């Protein structure tokens, strides 16, 4: 890992491979150190082996979903900031997000929205 100690480390989790690749590429170009996982199971392994400053996870994924990723992230690294994404953030999901102190982002989103959220976390 080359010179990543001073860069913000992100884990991006999404089973939509196009969304995952595009977001990872754009955030990498902005200078973030980005690790990707195309499933909640892969993300769980990464979370157990590495520390991330921010986790960006889709909520709806098979087997290990974003809700479980949030739980595991908070259990292993409670100081990690979390952004959850979904095509539809209903009232129940918004209440859950508030109770878990996570930020939500409705799909489709653009990288500028994510960048703005990341800058807020850095304050």
Where along the chain do its domains lie?
9-122
pLDDT score recorded for residue 1: 35
pLDDT in tens, 31-60: 999 999 999 999 999 999 999 999 999 999
Q: Indicate the burial class of 6 (C-beta count within 10 angstroms; 0-12, 13-18, 19 or more).
A: exposed
Residues 76/47, Cβ–Cβ less than 8 Å: yes
pLDDT score recorded for residue 6: 66
> At residue 3, does pLDDT exceed 60?
no
User: Domain 9-122: which CATH class?
Assistant: alpha beta
Cα(97)–Cα(67) distance, integer angstroms: 10
Cα(90)–Cα(21) distance, integer angstroms: 26
pLDDT score recorded for residue 123: 66
pLDDT in tens, 52-102: 999 999 999 889 899 999 999 999 889 999 999 998 888 999 999 999 999
């Amino acid at each position: 890992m080359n010179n990543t100690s001073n860069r913000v480390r992100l884990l991006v989790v999404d089973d939509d491979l196009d969304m995952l690749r595009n977001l990872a590429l754009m955030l990498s170009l902005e200078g973030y150190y980005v690790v990707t996982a195309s499933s909640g199971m892969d993300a769980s392994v990464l979370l157990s082996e590495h520390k991330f400053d921010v986790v960006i996870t889709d909520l709806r994924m098979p087997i290990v979903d974003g809700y479980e990723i949030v739980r595991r992230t908070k259990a292993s690294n409670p100081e990690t900031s979390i952004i959850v994404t979904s095509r539809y953030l209903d009232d129940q999901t918004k209440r859950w997000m508030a109770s878990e102190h996570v930020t939500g982002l409705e799909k489709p989103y653009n990288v500028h929205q994510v960048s703005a959220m990341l800058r807020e976390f850095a304050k």
